Structure 1
Amino acid sequence: MRLDKFLKVSRLIKRRTLAKQVADQGRITIDGKVAKASSDVAPGNELAIRFGQKIVTVKVNELKASTKKEDAAMMYTIMKEEKLEKVDPEFVDDED
């Protein structure tokens, strides 16, 4: 399954277009390697997703084409959540 679709179906990220943007910015890794939106995700993979000042690491448990909201959290297990101390200038949005 594509990374952007997994993130949407599992509800880790609300919309697939947003999941694609986050992946294209290099803010997601699969097993330690920077991933694109089209990267394949399989059960057992470890995803690290950067949300602002936080990095959430999850392990993929299962893949489903669609799921109910209450069952979405069973698709992954949160391994750890890290807060970032410093802003990385590479990820600062200068377009404002």
Structure 2
Amino acid sequence: MRIDKFLKNSRLIKRRTVAKEACEKGLVKINDKIAKPGDEVNVCDIISLTLGSNEIKVRVKDTSDVNSKALADTLYERI
């Protein structure tokens, strides 16, 4: 799954266009490598996301296409 789509499905970022812009600005890293919007995310990858002064680190648990808000937090675990 693409990183911009994963960020939107997991509800870490609310809209896919905002997730794409965050990737283009270098605010998203996959395994300590700056991510482009089309980079693939796999299970066990570590995603670092910088939003303002906050940094969020999560480990990917699942990459299924979940659209439910209740199941969104099952896609990752915070580190």
Show structure 2 runs of 5+ residues with no match. Answer: none
Alignment RMSD: 0.7
Show structure 1 runs of 5+ residues with no match. Answer: 80-96
Structure of higher RCO (CA pairs closer than 8 Å, 6+ residues apart): 2
The residue type paired with residue 31 of structure 2 is D
Cα displacement string for residues 22-77 of structure 1 (whole angstroms, at most 9, x for unaligned residues): 00000011001000110000000000000100110000000111331011001000
Matching residue of 1:72: 72
TM-score, normalised via structure 2 length: 0.97
The share of aligned pairs that are identical, in percent, is: 37
Say which one has the larger Rg: 1
The residue type paired with residue 18 of structure 1 is V
TM-score, normalised via structure 1 length: 0.80
Equivalent pairs, count = 79
